[in-house]
Structure 1
Amino acid sequence: MTRTEQVISPQVHIHGEVAQEAAAYAVAKLEAALHHAPGPVLRSSLTLDSAAPGDRVDAHVDVNGTGLHVHAMGETLQEATDLMQERLRSRLRRIRRRPQQGPPAPQ
């Protein structure tokens, strides 16, 4: 298993009333998932939205030129965050298994 040690802090965007603990939890979950990225994480952002019907979490990540976007909705921000992390890890595993689907390797 590949473990990337250098993960940049994500930009965090908040809509609605989001507790600081919920935002910190979401950042920690995103960073934990990104430690398993198959390449360098060039950029990441996280959007927490409690103003939408249901709580929503979106993550946008650039892994060595491959853009990923995952979102999840839940009854709470914690539930949505856990679903987002699960989906992001799944997408990262898919990139690792099928590197030919990403951008061409630098020459």
Structure 2
Amino acid sequence: MRIDEVGRPQVHTHGDVPPEATAYAIEKTVSALHHASGQVLRTSLTLDAAAPGDRVDAHVDVNGIGVHVHGVGSTMQEATDLMQDRLRTRLHRLRRRPRQGPAA
């Protein structure tokens, strides 16, 4: 199953984050979200260049189930790639075990 309609993530930045790093993080996040098992209700990204190492956090709500992943790297691109890989993994796991989420 592939979700074709995914909204643009809300983005927060800390420190000196170049616009191209933000665009790259959005592109990679949206790409991963197309593999969600249900409707993506909300997505937010935090790009932090002020932390030790560059860090990218993603918070996603898939049909009421919260998913949080992050990546830390020596560059914002490396951190984004790690975050995307972890997000895809979590979304695939959610697809295999759809009831694995917070209690209603």
What TM-score bracket applies, with the shorter chain setting the length? over 0.9
Counterpart Cα distance in 1 of 2:40 and 2:102: 14
Give the SS at the match of 1:72: strand
Runs of 4 or more above 6 Å deviation:
none
Give the SS at the match of 1:92: helix
Q: Which residue of 1 aligns with 2:62?
A: 63
Q: Which digits, 9 at most, give the CA deviation of each residue in 1:2-25, with x for residues without a partner? A: 110110110000000011000000
Structure 1 unpaired stretches of 5+:
none
Is 1:18 the equivalent of 2:17? yes
Written as runs of structure 1 = structure 2, the 5 A alignment for 1:27-66 is 27-66=26-65
Scaled by the length of structure 2, the TM-score of the pair is: 0.96
Deviates more, 1:93-102 or 1:36-45: 93-102
Give the SS at the match of 2:38: coil
- The one-letter code sitting in structure 1 at the alignment partner of 2:34 is H
Structure 2 unpaired stretches of 5+:
none
Q: Residue 101 of structure 1: CA displacement? A: 1.4
- The one-letter code sitting in structure 2 at the alignment partner of 1:44 is T
Percent identity, aligned pairs only?
A: 69
Q: How many residues align?
A: 104
Q: Which digits, 9 at most, give the CA deviation of each residue in 1:26-80, with x for residues without a partner? A: 0000000000100000000000000000000000000000000001100000000
